[in-house]
Structure 1
Amino acid sequence: MNVHHKKRILVAPLNWGLGHATRCMPIINALLANNFEPVIASDGYALSLLKKEYPNLQFFELPSYNITYAKKGNSFKIKIVKDSPHLLKTIKREKKAIQELTKSEDISGIISDNRFGVRQKHIPSVFITHQLRVLSGNTTWLSSKFHQKIISKFDQCWIPDHRGKNNLSGELGHVKDYQSSLKYLGPLSRFKKQKLPLRYNLLIILSGPEPQRTYLEEKLFIQLENYKGKVCFVKGILESEQKKFEKNNITVYNYMTSVELEKALNKCEMVLSRSGYTSLMDYAKLEKKAFLIPTPGQFEQEYLAKKLQSEGIAPSCNQKLFKIEMLKDIENYSGFKSLEDDVNYQELFRLF
């Protein structure tokens, strides 16, 4: 007999930076609002973050993909190829863990954010991605084909972007004559726009894998010595306790909770960050002005930064070349605009 009156839906984001975990939050909130019981499965920082945000939910640890970056941006591809046997092994272990989990926890539906092994034949399974096309330089056709083959094994693919011309993901999330069952949800953000008094001239949000996160942090602290405005600097290091210190005009945090980050974003004049897709969805929702520094060697972030620069939305530059004076460029760009896309979650969750 089923002791759970609510259907239990497994939500499993990839642990690569924090973007996959944070963009699952609006979905977890919508599941709760629509009388489902979300069960969370992930690993590493992504799992820690969601535990902090949803202390009352049930959590499970999945095998870790252990994706790290090459020290040099341009060796990224070679490293991925070298890591692929480990990756395939992990996906196998992940599949086995999911098989046991869905049985023992009485799961009625699965939502995987970019975790390839999180699906079950007899349970409605959804894959969330903004990348139908995976950029990898001259092997883009191959990486895209591989990704599309994985997506086709799921019942539906949810894309956190607009379907039409005014979209955020460009050629990543829009492929002509695509065969799988696609649903465009509009950008997903855990934040809401609020009218709050301005507190910071500049909010810096660091994120993403090491060692590039640390390289950028060190560079920015040197550059900030010549910056006069008020700065809030969020390092994006998830530790058990929040640490905060002040240094002249800079307030530094190791990390912020969603509530704190939402406030900081609403209280700042402009943001400096990576061009990770989840960050861009947040800036669109809050209609921010931003300066973007893509992670070196990450084709997707480099593409998104170029796209937004060419559309006159946000300036960007290569990590090595960044100088604090470049922030003045922001004045010549429109900033992000929000296109409201109210997802009909009731309709979306019919699958379960």
Structure 2
Amino acid sequence: MPEIFTVLGARPQFIKAAPVSRALARVGLSESIVHTGQHFDALMSDIFFDELDIPKPAYNLEVNSLGHGAMTGRMLEKLEEAMLAEKPDLVLIYGDTNSTIAGALAAAKLNIPVAHVEAGLRSFNRRMPEEINRVVADHVSALLFCPTRAAVANLGAEGIVKGVHAVGDVMYDTTLAAVKRAEGRSTIIETLGLTPGGYAVATIHRAENTDDPERFDRVVAWLEAAARETPVVMPVHPRTRKLLASRGLNPAGLTLIDPVGYLDMARLLSRATAVFTDSGGLQKEAYFHRVPCVTLRDETEWVETVEAGWNRLWTSKDYAPRRDITDYGSGDAATSIARHIADLLAD
């Protein structure tokens, strides 16, 4: 039976992997998950495996709390060791993190085919580490699973046409499956004393915001201004909490809470009146729940959310006219991904 090596390390990747893992099993493919350890806090990692029924990792590399170069290098070294020991037939990677690029490079150097979920996304800002990770991962991948037509076009502009498939968005698959489960299991709105439709949800974690103190202060000030109109609930990434403390910031009007699991976040989003974030995944999750979003960045790789009027950059004042986004599919992206992988390994 063909063996798939799935490399995961961060919260968004766990979410994307859940429906794909189930789809791989349905087409008869064996999967071993390698957790790089990039997100190691239980609230950023373990809870997602439990809530989303993801198979427990076969490996946990425990690489975290390092700079980009050191983290990627350490992951690359440990992933190569695991791949040499297990000899997988294909390495599956997700998104644009250090775990993504380390998995891509380790496999490519061992001549193992790479499949990239969320291929073709571009912010066209090479100062973002995530942009470098996306570009390099795409250029060494044999299968490129694009969530949108714009992503397919981006790859074509870079000369990548072989192995490219527009499959829709796996995060939509996960959202559809999680909505009913969240309603039955999550009590976060009641616990926080929130009024449905009477609050916004915010997150900050991207390096472009947290590595620049002056910019970080401006983002916090923007959120404080927004909170004067609507109460803001903000699950705080551990790195962001440290930064707030080091800069002596206690944002007025924001309720700061610990990171939450996927079901709690899904319920928070489904009842929110707005989302303010620098997260790529949360921009889409907001759309899936049909909640308007403001992206706390100067550009976004999810351009269709802006064009469809569900998202705007914080530097813009108005939304485009609102419409549905058809590119994300109907909740069967994972099935399409699994079939394409099975076809490649059958050749």
Aligned residues of 1:290 and 1:335 also touching (Cα < 8 A): no
**Distance change >3 Å, CA 67–CA 33, structure 1 → 2:** farther
Q: Tell me which of 54, 79, 89 is aligned to 1:98.
A: 79
Q: Please state how far the C-alpha of 1:345 moved relative to its aligned partner.
A: 4.2
Which residue number in structure 1 is paired with residue 124 of structure 2?
A: 135
Q: Please state how far the C-alpha of 1:258 moved relative to its aligned partner.
A: 0.5
Gaps of 5+ in 1: 1-5, 69-85, 240-246, 297-301
Aligned residues of 1:204 and 1:271 also touching (Cα < 8 A): yes
Amino acid at match of 1:51: D
Q: Secondary structure at the match of 2:93?
A: strand
Equivalenced residues, count = 293
- Map residues 107-122 of structure 1 onto 2, 5 A cutoff: 107-113=88-94, 114-115=100-101, 116-119=104-107, 121=110
- Map residues 154-233 of structure 1 onto 2, 5 A cutoff: 154-159=141-146, 161-163=147-149, 167=150, 169=151, 172=154, 175=157, 178-189=160-171, 190-192=174-176, 194=179, 198-209=196-207, 210-211=210-211, 215=217, 218-220=220-222, 222-224=224-226, 226-227=228-229, 229-233=230-234
- Map residues 22-41 of structure 1 onto 2, 5 A cutoff: 22-31=15-24, 34=27, 36-41=30-35
1:282 matches 2:263: no
**Distance change >3 Å, CA 219–CA 308, structure 1 → 2:** same
**Distance change >3 Å, CA 289–CA 52, structure 1 → 2:** same
- Map residues 1-352 of structure 1 onto 2, 5 A cutoff: 8-13=3-8, 18-31=11-24, 34=27, 36-45=30-39, 49-54=44-49, 57-58=56-57, 59-61=59-61, 66=66, 86=69, 90-91=72-73, 94-105=75-86, 107-113=88-94, 114-115=100-101, 116-119=104-107, 121=110, 123-131=112-120, 135-136=124-125, 151-159=138-146, 161-163=147-149, 167=150, 169=151, 172=154, 175=157, 178-189=160-171, 190-192=174-176, 194=179, 198-209=196-207, 210-211=210-211, 215=217, 218-220=220-222, 222-224=224-226, 226-227=228-229, 229-237=230-238, 251-274=255-278, 276-294=279-297, 302-304=299-301, 308-309=305-306, 312-318=309-315, 329=318, 333-334=321-322, 337=325, 339-341=328-330, 342-343=332-333, 344-350=336-342, 351-352=344-345
Gaps of 5+ in 2: 95-99, 184-194, 241-250
The CA deviation string for residues 210-258 of structure 1, in whole angstroms up to 9 with x for no partner, is 235953663255325522x44332223389xxxxxxx997543221100
Aligned residues of 2:310 and 2:322 also touching (Cα < 8 A): yes
Q: Please state how far the C-alpha of 1:119 moved relative to its aligned partner.
A: 0.8
Amino acid at match of 1:271: V
- RMSD of aligned residue pairs (Cα, Å): 4.3
Q: Please state how far the C-alpha of 1:315 moved relative to its aligned partner.
A: 2.7
**Distance change >3 Å, CA 42–CA 170, structure 1 → 2:** same
Q: Please state how far the C-alpha of 1:96 moved relative to its aligned partner.
A: 4.0
1:21 and 1:90 map into 2 onto residues whose CA distance is 19
Aligned residues of 1:238 and 1:255 also touching (Cα < 8 A): no
Q: Please state how far the C-alpha of 1:134 moved relative to its aligned partner.
A: 6.5
1:202 and 1:235 map into 2 onto residues whose CA distance is 14
Aligned residues of 2:287 and 2:305 also touching (Cα < 8 A): no
Which structure carries more helix by proportion?
2
Which residue number in structure 2 is paired with residue 299 of structure 1?
A: none
More moved, 338-347 vs 178-187: 338-347
Aligned residues of 2:235 and 2:260 also touching (Cα < 8 A): yes
Q: Secondary structure at the match of 2:39?
A: helix
Aligned residues of 2:116 and 2:143 also touching (Cα < 8 A): yes
Aligned residues of 1:200 and 1:269 also touching (Cα < 8 A): yes
2:302 and 2:114 map into 1 onto residues whose CA distance is 32
